[in-house]
Structure 1
Amino acid sequence: MVWFGQLISLTGSEMSAFALALWAWSLTGQATALALVALFSGLPRILLSPVLAGAAMAASSISVLLNALRLLRWKSP
């Protein structure tokens, strides 16, 4: 039931983003406006995707490990 609600919500969001892009194109008559609206409506989905979050977590883990190794080799003056 939750999946179906999410599907309906996502469908509505995609339709409104598409309509907004077409509206911007009809107002200006330029494909640049359409492309910019499409870019800025899709950019948050790309930046907040699980793949990017996984890459950020991996980079964080590597950073923690490297700092721990650096502390192990550190000698107090």
Structure 2
Amino acid sequence: MAAPSKKKSSAEEEPTFDERLARLEKLVAELEGGELTLEDSLARYGEGVKILRAAREQLEGYRRKVEELSADSADGDV
């Protein structure tokens, strides 16, 4: 009998903003180190672009949430 698979929830799969930022900082350090091949540099750069886009989307979501909360408090809902 096979062992049950452990599926992570979507919240567990998506990195936090801080995790994304830490990964970006590591990628920048690797790229600035000058020891990567051109191919590895391009791969790291591509990964960084994807992470940056995701982090910007996260920040935009946080901004919208703050606006919603601010609007609620301005309306006297708090």
The answer, yes or no, to whether TM exceeds 0.5 is no
More helix by share: 1
Q: Larger relative CO (CA 8 A, sep 6+): 1 or 2? A: 2
Query: Which range, TM-score by smaller chain?
Result: 0.3 to 0.5
Q: TM-score, normalised by structure 1?
A: 0.38
Q: TM-score, normalised by structure 2?
A: 0.38
